[in-house]
Amino acid sequence: MRHHHSFPNTLAAGLAMACLAGVQACQAEAPDQADAEEQMDAEHAQEAEGGEVHWSYEGATGADMWGGLDPSFAVCDTGVQQSPIDLAGAIPAGGGGLEIQWQPTDGEVVDNGHTIQVNMAQGNTITLEGRQFSMLQFHFHLPSEHTVEGGVYPMEVHFVHQAEEGDLAVVGVFMDAGEAHAAIQAIWDAIPGVDEAPAPLAGIDPNAFLPGGRAYFRYAGSLTTPPCSEVVSWVVMTESIAVSQEQVDAFAALYPMNARPVQPLNRRFILLK
Ligand SMILES: [Zn+2]
């Protein structure tokens, strides 16, 4: 069976989407599925996301309906550690626990029907509480999915990383209206049409999307899209980065609302690191 950490970039793109949509499929992939993935273009990757079951953010297939759209989405309704959440009442826990090892890396920009996503080649890792996770992709939400004491930001970017064991660590960064952001503009300028192939983009530096301060919220949660798998170690940076209103508007023209509502905290706690 193919090793997930030595695939070529084009395959990584399809796999990254499949992994985000269904970690179990990502972990236990049959050889025939692997063959199928190698032939999968961006459109098919899009269909594979969410097991080909259509879902959306509003209306009859909106966020409140996800759990009933497919048996594999049930945890969207029945889960007890769902994401996103309102980041309130965080417990100060001192700093540390997170090392970010990112560098300029080649990638490709995809419009996957739910967001704009940048699939990344290998080479970007984080070490969270002693465990290493490798970046698969990053993507955007409008407005922010997490809130801070009820406050919503214009946008939020999610850097999705995966451990050898298959579980995920996602680093979220809030995007607030201010100066234009050059790295965002490079991505926006590369966005392909919905029926077009992924657009290669060289030398994307994820560090450009990190705020100056490294304080973060830390909690245990889930994917914020179907199948809502509860396999995500969440890191949400407390400081935001600036993007221009024009850049927010440009994303909104494609995706006016792609944020899941906040979910109950239940018995979890939030650490402020
Ligand atoms: Zn996300």
State the distance from the centre of ligand 1 to the C-alpha of 159, rounded, in angstroms: 8
- Transcribe 179-217 into DSSP letters: S--HHHHHHHHHPPPTTSPPEEEEEE-GGGGS-S---EE
As residues whose CB is below 5 A from the ion ligand 1, the structure lists 158
- 232 and 92 Cβ atoms separated by less than 8 Å: no
Q: Sorting pLDDT into bands at 50, 70 and 90, what band is 196?
A: confident
Q: What is the mean pLDDT of residues 199-211?
A: 97
Query: 157 CA to middle of ligand 1, Å?
Result: 7
Q: Are 144 and 153 in contact (CB under 8 A)?
A: yes
CB atoms within 10 A of CB 94: 8
Terminal Cα distance for the chain, rounded:
39
Q: Is the pLDDT of residue 24 over 70?
A: no
Q: Which residue has the higher pLDDT, 43 or 158?
A: 158
Ligand 1 centroid, distance to 27 Cα (angstroms): 20
Task: Please give the Cα distance from 47 to 43 (Å, whole number).
Answer: 6
Quick one: pLDDT band at residue 44, thresholds 50, 70, 90? very low
224 domain residue, yes or no: yes
CATH number of the domain within which 164 lies = 3.10.200.10
SS3 45: helix
pLDDT higher than 90, residue 25: no
C-alpha of residue 258 to centroid of ligand 1, in Å: 9
Domain with 203 in it: 9-272
pLDDT digits (tens, 9 = 90+) for 245-261: 999 999 999 999 999 99
Q: Is there a domain that residue 75 lies in?
A: yes
- How far is the centre of ligand 1, averaged over its atoms, from the C-alpha of 177 (Å)? 19
What integer pLDDT is reported at residue 193 of this predicted model? 86
- For 177, residues 6+ apart whose C-beta sits below 8 A from its C-beta are 154, 242, 243, 244, 245, 248
How far apart are the CA of 84 and the centre of ligand 1, in A? 9
Kindly report the number of other CB atoms within 10 A of residue 77's CB atom.
13
Identify which has the larger pLDDT, 44 or 230.
230
In a domain, 206, yes or no: yes
Count: domains in the chain: 1
Tell whether 2 is covered by a domain. Answer: no
Q: Is residue 3 part of a domain?
A: no
- Is the predicted pLDDT of residue 129 greater than 80, yes or no? yes
pTM (two decimals)? 0.83
